[in-house]
Amino acid sequence: MTPLQAAVAEAETQIGTEVGVSNWITVDQKMIDEFAKTTFDEQWIHVDPVRAAAETPFGGSIAHGFLTLSLASRFAYDCFGMLPRQVMGINYGFNKLRFLTPVRAGARLRGRFTLQNVSARSETDMLRENLLTIDIEGHDRPALIAEWLGLAVFAPK
């Protein structure tokens, strides 16, 4: 059995189960401001906490949805290591993505991963589909949910 075949067989036993929970990350105003500058999205609901507190139902500034989503890579690093003979992991995209709850400046987030499907795509690539839930500490509803696709690329034989 090749390392890829072994990885697929092992992962198949985990379908439907939570396979990782990350550490918490604080999304503070500095992070939001830096993301706004980097992406040229400096809408006041993100970068003006005083105005956002006065003029929105959020009670202050909120993180960009894409900032929240961009933390998915950090959460994955917390949860997944390299498999035997795996040479890299590649973000393959999303099937579905929903932003459910605004993330206030100062909130703490973590990612939870539930394996939904796995398959060998080629002789070197394993495709994993995880349901990613990004939790907001102290909230019942998550910030977002997404079906995230990732490739585990293995060294050729």
Contact 60, 129 (CB under 8 A): no
Helix or strand run (H / E) with residue 133? strand 125-136
Domains along the chain with CATH numbers? 3-26+70-154 (3.10.129.10)
Q: What is the mean pLDDT of the chain?
A: 95
Task: Return the DSSP state at 65.
Answer: H
Token pair, residue 113, equals: 């991963």
40 band by pLDDT with thresholds 50, 70 and 90: very high
Q: What is the pLDDT of residues 61-120, one digit of tens each?
A: 999 999 999 999 999 999 998 888 899 999 999 999 999 999 999 999 999 999 999 999
Non-local CB neighbours of 14 within 8 Å, separated by 6+ positions: 115
SS3 percent helix, strand, coil of the chain, rounded to 5, is 30, 40, 30
* Average pLDDT rounded to a whole number, residues 123-130: 94
Query: Does the structure show a pLDDT above 80 at 157?
Result: no
